[in-house]
Structure 1
Amino acid sequence: MKILTGNDLVTGDVVWWTGDGWSRLVADAVDVADAGEAIAKREEAARRVNVPYLLDAALGETGPVPLHIKDRIRAAGPTVRPDLGVQAEQVARESWVI
């Protein structure tokens, strides 16, 4: 499974491609398969997202789970204060186990 991520140009938040827009929750991400590069180029050119890139993920109980630790951290929010960040509630509910 391939998912697409980047940073929102207005807020700076980590965002995930949902198939028709961007979400701050990785659980909303969809498999972009072979279309990922084209979506990334289009969204970056439209200045909706900064530095979009594809990453490997596996389908977990509540949606995609990034396979690389860097992207799991990006999905979870700040590591120094797990009670902060957009995904704090999501992380509290999930085990992040594939």
Structure 2
Amino acid sequence: MKLITGNDLATGDVVWWTGDDWSRHVEDAKDAGEQAEAIAREQEAARRVNVPYVIEATATAEGPRPAHIKDRIRALGPTVRPDLTLKPADPTAGSWVI
């Protein structure tokens, strides 16, 4: 499974390609397949996202799980305080990082 991630131009937030737009939540990300690199280039050229890149991921019941720890951390949000994660009310939000 190939996902596209990057940063929102206006806010700097980590964003994930949903198939037709961008979301702050990795659960919304869709497999971009063999078109991933072309989509990333097109979205960057359209100035919709900053420095998009393609990553490997696996499908899980909770949604896509980035293969590399760096991207798992990016998907979760800040690591210094659990209350600042994208899902502060979710007690299991940090359990899949490592």
Scaled by the length of structure 2, the TM-score of the pair is 0.89
d(CA) in 2 for partners of 1:10 and 1:18?
A: 18
Q: Deviations for 1:46-88, whole angstroms, at most 9, x for unmatched residues?
A: 1110110000100111110001000000001011012114x23
Q: Which amino acid aligns with 1:83?
A: D
Aligned residues: 96
Identical positions, percent? 64
Match of 1:23 in 2: 23
Indicate the SS of the match to 1:52: strand
Displaced runs of 4 or more, over 3 A: 89-95
Unaligned runs of 5+ in 1: none
Q: Which runs of 5+ in 2 are unaligned?
A: none
Contact 2:17 2:30 in 1 (8 A): yes
SS in 1 for 2:40: helix
Q: Secondary structure of 1:57's partner? A: strand
RMSD: 1.7
User: Which residue of structure 1 lines up, in the alignment, with residue 53 of structure 2?
Assistant: 53
- Aligned partners of 2:80, 2:62: CA distance in 1, in Å? 24
Worse overlay, 53-62 or 87-96:
87-96
> TM-score normalized by structure 1?
0.89
